[in-house]
Structure 1
Amino acid sequence: MNFYTFTEHNLRHFTENVFLKMGCPPADAQLAADVLLRSDLRGIDSHGVARLSGYVRLWKKERINATPDIKIVHETATTATVDGDRGLGLVVAPFAMKIAIEKARTYGSGWVAVKNSNHFGIAGYHALMAVAEDMVGISMTNASPLVAPTYSSERLLGTNPMCYAFPAGKYPPVVVDMATAAAANGKLEIAQRANLPIPEGWAQDASGNASTNPHQLKEGGSLLPLGSDKDHGSHKGYGLSATVDILSAVLSGANYGPWVPPFVSFLEPPNDPVGEGIGHFFGAMRIDGFRPAQDFKDHLDNWIARFKSAKTIDPGKQVIIPGEPEYNYEAERKKNGIPLIDAVVNDLNELARKLAIAQLS
């Protein structure tokens, strides 16, 4: 396995060209590229440019509308439901979060459910939009049905990520951005490209037996909820995943559970949908709706400092604040470039050939 390093500028230009070839308006192509590049910059390699061919594949199948008419279809003073018109989730999600932020500016909080959308990248991108406005940001989405509930071998839920983001003062924001499965499917894809086994506790085979095979999902197996198995708290991950599915889809009118149209290539959408597209859910809450924003940030700084100084089992290690590794990755990769493994580079250059655009160099 070899790594190649690319500048943020080169990857951004390449990614924008892919979305332009799909027929996206320039502003949408730039926004979609920004969401994917933010993932790579933050070290979440499973959700960055490595996903590009997946978006193109869905566009060719006419499951993604490159020029959607995104609109509010139901609204109150503090809530709204948005119809994404099958648009790129990378574009639909920021549209919806902006609505939540605007409502929060006026009323203290804003809540937006989304239907008829697609894969929206990393949840953290959208939650951090609220942090920039001195608000708490909340972002979540349902996803391809790859996860079996506790005690089941049937795939009924997605990895269903959720993110909570909080503005700090002298420290970076606290960003809790995680899948509600033991691992995101993208991590299995990374293991596949590297030809490496996955840790036990991530997946099970079709009979419910533990598996370290990174290709297990293509062979009828399933991912496990956060907590791994029934003896290690998987019911908690199952409960969190169910919460994301209900808020994102049952609330909005999107597909839920096993009816969610998949992003992965080895699954086809069910022919008996119960809603429209996939669903998201966003929230924004003004800090000063609870206490002065600077007071909150000063105390969150104190919270962070105390946790960073916690006594550790290994004297050479320090407690990690949620979002800290991603912040450090972003600083380093903006300076030194973004590494991609050869399998991803080859995939992107093959995509460029098919779309007749310039390859990565």
Structure 2
Amino acid sequence: MKFYTFTEQHLRSFTENVFLTMGCPQTDAQLAADVLLRSDLRGIDSHGVARLSGYIRLWEKKRINANPIVKVVHETATTATVDGDGGLGLVVAPFAMKIAIEKAKTYGSGWVAVKNSNHFGIAGYHALMAVEEDMIGISMTNASPLVAPTYANERLLGTNPMCYAFPAGKYPAVVVDMATAAAANGKLEIAQRANHPIPEGWVQDKDGNGSINPHELKEGGSLLPLGSDKDHGSHKGYGLGATVDILSAVLSGANYGPWVPPFVAFLEPPTDPVGEGIGHFFGAMRVDGFRPAQDFKDHLDNWIERFKSAKTVDPDKKVIIPGEPEYAFENERKKNGIPLIDAVVNDLNALALKMGIAGLS
């Protein structure tokens, strides 16, 4: 496996060009590229430009609308439901989070459910939009069914990520951004490209036995909930994944559970949908709706400092604040560039050739 390093601007221009060639309006192409690049910058390589080919394959199958009319279809003072018109989740999700933020500015909090969307990138991107307004941001989405509930060997839930982001004062925001499965599917894709085994506890085979084969999902296996198995708290991950599914889809009118359309283009969506597309859920809460914002941020700084000073089992290790590694990655990669493995570079160059645009190198 070999790594190539690209500047943020080079990858951004390439990614925008892909979306423009796909037929996206300029502003949508720029926004979609920004979501993917933020993922790569924050070290979440599984959800960055490596996913470009997946979006294009879905568009070629007419399962992504490159030029959607995104609109509010149900609304109260503090809530709304958005129809994404089959558009890129990378575009639909920021649209919805902006509505939540605007409602929060007026009423203290805003809550938006989304239907008829697609994969929205990293949950952290959208939650952090609220942080910029001194708000607490909440972002979640359901996803293709790859996860078996506790005791089952049938895929009924997605990796269903959720994110909570909190504004701090002198420190970066605290960002709890995680899948509710033992591992995100993107991590399996990275292991597949690198031809590396995966850790125990991530997946089970079609008979319910643990496996370290990164290709297990292609052979009928399933991801496990956060907690891995019934003896290690998988019911908690199952419960969190169920919560995301209900808020994102049952509430909005999107597909839920096994009816969520797959992200991979070679698998067809269920023929008996119970809703429209993929669903998301967003929340924004004004900190000053609870106490003065600066007081909260000062005390969150104090919280961070106390946790960072915790005694550790290994004196060479420190407690990590949620979001801290991603912040460090972002600083380092903005300065030194974004590394991509050769398999991803080859895939993106092949995509460029197919679309008739300039490749990465």
Do both proteins adopt the same fold according to a TM-score greater than 0.5, normalized to the shorter chain? Answer: yes
> How large is the RMSD of aligned CA atoms in angstroms?
0.5
Deviation at 1:267, TM superposition (A): 3.0
Q: Residues 295-354 of structure 1: CA distance to partner in whole angstroms, max 9, x if unpaired?
A: 000000000000000000100010000000000000000000000000000000000000
1:312 counterpart = 2:312:
yes
Q: Which residue of 2 aligns with 1:15?
A: 15
**Counterpart secondary structure, 2:282:** strand
Partners of 2:139 and 2:321 in 1: how far apart? 19
Kindly indicate whether the alpha-carbon contact (under 8 Å) linking 2:141 and 2:160 is maintained by their aligned counterparts in 1: yes
* Counterparts of residues 302-341 of structure 1 (less than 5 Å): 302-341=302-341
Partners of 1:112 and 1:214 in 2: how far apart? 35
Partner amino acid for 1:323?
Answer: G
Q: Which residue of 2 aligns with 1:67?
A: 67
Deviation at 1:265, TM superposition (A): 4.0
Partners of 1:271 and 1:354 in 2: how far apart? 30
Q: Which residue of 1 aligns with 2:136?
A: 136
Deviation at 1:149, TM superposition (A): 0.2
Q: Which residue of 1 aligns with 2:93?
A: 93
Kindly indicate whether the alpha-carbon contact (under 8 Å) linking 1:226 and 1:237 is maintained by their aligned counterparts in 2: yes
With normalisation by structure 1, the TM-score equals: 1.00
Kindly indicate whether the alpha-carbon contact (under 8 Å) linking 2:3 and 2:342 is maintained by their aligned counterparts in 1: yes
Q: Which residue of 2 aligns with 1:35?
A: 35
Partners of 1:57 and 1:93 in 2: how far apart? 20
Deviation at 1:222, TM superposition (A): 0.2
Q: Which residue of 2 aligns with 1:295?
A: 295
Kindly indicate whether the alpha-carbon contact (under 8 Å) linking 1:79 and 1:111 is maintained by their aligned counterparts in 2: yes
In structure 1, runs of 5+ residues without a counterpart are none
Deviation at 1:46, TM superposition (A): 0.1
Partner amino acid for 1:29?
Answer: A
Partners of 1:201 and 1:179 in 2: how far apart? 14
Partners of 1:221 and 1:271 in 2: how far apart? 22
In structure 2, runs of 5+ residues without a counterpart are none
Q: Residues 44-101 of structure 1: CA distance to partner in whole angstroms, max 9, x if unpaired?
A: 0000000000000000000000000000000000000000000000000000000000
Partners of 1:294 and 1:266 in 2: how far apart? 50
With normalisation by structure 2, the TM-score equals: 1.00
Deviation at 1:190, TM superposition (A): 0.3
Deviation at 1:266, TM superposition (A): 4.9
* Counterparts of residues 1-361 of structure 1 (less than 5 Å): 1-361=1-361
Partners of 2:267 and 2:223 in 1: how far apart? 14
Kindly indicate whether the alpha-carbon contact (under 8 Å) linking 1:139 and 1:282 is maintained by their aligned counterparts in 2: yes
Partners of 1:133 and 1:303 in 2: how far apart? 21
Partner amino acid for 2:120?
Answer: F
Kindly indicate whether the alpha-carbon contact (under 8 Å) linking 1:127 and 1:163 is maintained by their aligned counterparts in 2: yes
Kindly indicate whether the alpha-carbon contact (under 8 Å) linking 1:218 and 1:266 is maintained by their aligned counterparts in 2: no
Deviation at 1:264, TM superposition (A): 2.5
**Taking structure 1 as reference, are residues 219 and 266 closer, same or farther at Cα in structure 2, changes over 3 Å only?**
farther
Q: Residues 253-273 of structure 1: CA distance to partner in whole angstroms, max 9, x if unpaired?
A: 000000000102453210000
Partners of 1:268 and 1:328 in 2: how far apart? 39
Partner amino acid for 1:342?
Answer: D
**Counterpart secondary structure, 2:172:** coil
**Counterpart secondary structure, 1:281:** strand
